[in-house]
Structure 1
Amino acid sequence: MKPPERAGRKSTTREPIIQEFETSEPEATRRAAGVAESSRANRGWWDRNADEYQVEHGTFLGDDRFVWGPEGLDEVEAELLGPPEELKGKDVLEIGAGAAQCSRWLAGQGARPVALDISHRQLQHALRIGGPFPLVCADAGALPFADGSFDLVCSAYGALPFVADPRLVLREVRRVLRPGGRLVFSVTHPIRWAFPDEPGPEGLSVSGSYFDRTPYVEQDDEGRAVYVEHHRTIGDRVRDVVTSGLRLVDLVEPEWPAWNTSEWGGWSPLRGNLIPGTAVFVCERSEMGAPPAGGWARD
């Protein structure tokens, strides 16, 4: 699970290595960023920041927990993929797996997970922790699997917040799902884009338009993107789902639990008790047939 941490969202990982970092802080801006630029920038960002991310958040995530977001909603209680006893023998694809904590939990329930991530370094952490399941380094917009390979697909803050066209991912998910298969994915709650990404009182006042879909971009001195995050409204997310050949079953907005006193970037008990921080979409493969290239509905 990899929620971003900023509206310039530096995160962190468990086993420091020597690596080269940019000599100057990237410039934060709002500008257009296409599919290829977003993919290239975020692959590089997660490779560079995977170690720091696992160091900072590894304790919260554990080695084999399945949490849907910073609130700490755990699949053990949520059962959004179905009752744990029904996961045994299921083929499951985790997209944006990071160190594959969720896949490790799924394997413990008797499922057959495959952990996919765009970041090679994140998957090195998955390999370090270990697990009896395949690791695949690939872009979620071009899944390297045959049609109908999986019973379930899950993604906890993986891929979808960072891609320029989430429908490319969702249509690929539909393709690899078997009839009746389920997709569950979590993203930053869209309302958060109207507020500063701060955990304290300064993060409680609206600072921008909820309807401004301009991507958040960090770029180097030459204007090349080194991190990109994309905003979709709730309505956009719903349309993305249904025009990709999926059926929306549920939309979960986890409340902040009393036991969780942690801050995670802009997520905090203060903000979590007032505004939602995560949206979890529960979807199933529609049997209406595969959507045409442009989708069933107008964008």
Structure 2
Amino acid sequence: MSTDEPVSFGYRDVSDDGGRAARGWWDANAVEYLDEHRDFLGDAGFRWGPEGLTEAEAGLLGDVAGRDVLEIGAGAAHCSRWLASRGARVVATDLSAGMLAGAARLDAATGVVVPRVQTDARALPFADRSFDVVFTSFGALPFVPDAVRVHREAARVLRPGGRWVFSVTHPLRWAFPDDPTRHGLTANRSYFDRRPYVEADAAGRVLYAEYHRTIGDHVRDVVTAGLRLTDLVEPEWPEWNDQVWGGWGPERGRYLPGTAIFVTEPAQ
């Protein structure tokens, strides 16, 4: 009999498409996740990763005032809400109904209402060239086996001169244990092992899958989608941040990168 509790963990190939597993996992864990990280996510509004780098500091999206902006894998739409407060016409999308329900609660709490659409990032329900900027902060891409489809959709809905910016777990991290302490500084698997991390229940049903891509894989996916890379940002761990978030934390963060942010634009 299948249960909802994972009983096996590890790196292996799976036939599950990832998207279905991701939706169920985030629906089930949305409230706990948002409660756990409320202060960190809500303090500055738009963070690119656990290091704490904000869009206000980095300016990777450019001037968003008066521009049409799409967030993919928005979760509770913290980033979109920050952009809306700065004059962007923003739409937040996510596959998880649980996360979008969290966004609705934040709308009520903050008074900043962000339009939301529940959709798979690999099949966006928007017309070609609808947005000036498309972005995601740790959304969608890690949870699908066919990330190039997400890039193609982002490229399709971008207007000429637009930007597609995405942050992911730094690929180097996949060679090391998911441990924020010094114990996580010794590599224990190959960086080139692209098998996803998988959690399954007693019946073998995939409950969670997260996919690894090397730096080269990310660049090739971007190029295949008709985009070109204009910047790659690797945030350093700042002295002020004592937050431990899963495998991220100040002890290991001073030695190893935890986040990679890719800035791209249409090739033509």
The alignment's TM-score, normalised by the length of structure 2, stands at 0.95
Residues 6, 207 of structure 2: 8 Å contact kept = no
2:83 aligned to which of 98, 106, 125: 106
Residues 4, 201 of structure 2: 8 Å contact kept = no
Residues 63, 104 of structure 1: 8 Å contact kept = no
Question: Would you say 1:44 and 2:21 are equivalent positions?
Answer: no
Residue by residue over 1:43-87, the C-alpha shift from the partner in whole angstroms, topping out at 9 and shown as x without a partner, is 0000000010001001100076110000000000100001xxx31
In the other structure, the counterpart of 2:49 is 69
Paired residue type of 1:58:
R
2:227 aligned to which of 224, 227, 246: 246
2:103 aligned to which of 126, 130, 142: 126
C-alpha spacing 1:148/1:271, structure 2 compared with 1 (3 Å):
same
Question: Would you say 1:152 and 2:129 are equivalent positions?
Answer: no
Tell me the CA shift for residue 23 of structure 1. 5.9
Paired residue type of 1:136:
V
Partners in 1 of 2:263 and 2:7 — Cα distance? 35
Task: Give the CA RMSD over aligned residues.
Answer: 1.4
Tell me the CA shift for residue 247 of structure 1. 0.9
In the other structure, the counterpart of 2:187 is 206
Partners in 2 of 1:243 and 1:148 — Cα distance? 18
Partners in 2 of 1:214 and 1:180 — Cα distance? 35
In the other structure, the counterpart of 1:185 is 166
Partners in 2 of 1:42 and 1:242 — Cα distance? 26
Residue by residue over 1:187-222, the C-alpha shift from the partner in whole angstroms, topping out at 9 and shown as x without a partner, is 000000000001112111111000000111111111
Structure with higher helix content: 2
Partners in 2 of 1:69 and 1:279 — Cα distance? 9
Tell me the CA shift for residue 133 of structure 1. 2.6
Partners in 2 of 1:23 and 1:77 — Cα distance? 41
Partners in 1 of 2:233 and 2:137 — Cα distance? 13
Residues 114, 135 of structure 1: 8 Å contact kept = yes
Residues 64, 101 of structure 1: 8 Å contact kept = no
Residues 37, 225 of structure 1: 8 Å contact kept = no
Paired residue type of 1:55:
D
Gaps of 5+ in 1: 1-21, 288-299
The residue matched to 1:62 in structure 2 has which SS? helix
Matched residues, percent identical?
61
1:117 aligned to which of 94, 100, 106: 94
Correspondences of 1:1-299 after superposition (within 5 Å) = 22=3, 24-34=5-15, 37-62=17-42, 65-82=45-62, 86-130=63-107, 131-287=112-268
The residue matched to 2:203 in structure 1 has which SS? coil
Tell me the CA shift for residue 29 of structure 1. 2.4
Tell me the CA shift for residue 37 of structure 1. 2.8
Partners in 1 of 2:149 and 2:229 — Cα distance? 17
Aligned length: 263
Partners in 2 of 1:65 and 1:128 — Cα distance? 15
Gaps of 5+ in 2: none
The alignment's TM-score, normalised by the length of structure 1, stands at 0.85
Paired residue type of 1:123:
L
Residues 64, 103 of structure 1: 8 Å contact kept = no
Residues 4, 207 of structure 2: 8 Å contact kept = no
The residue matched to 2:141 in structure 1 has which SS? coil
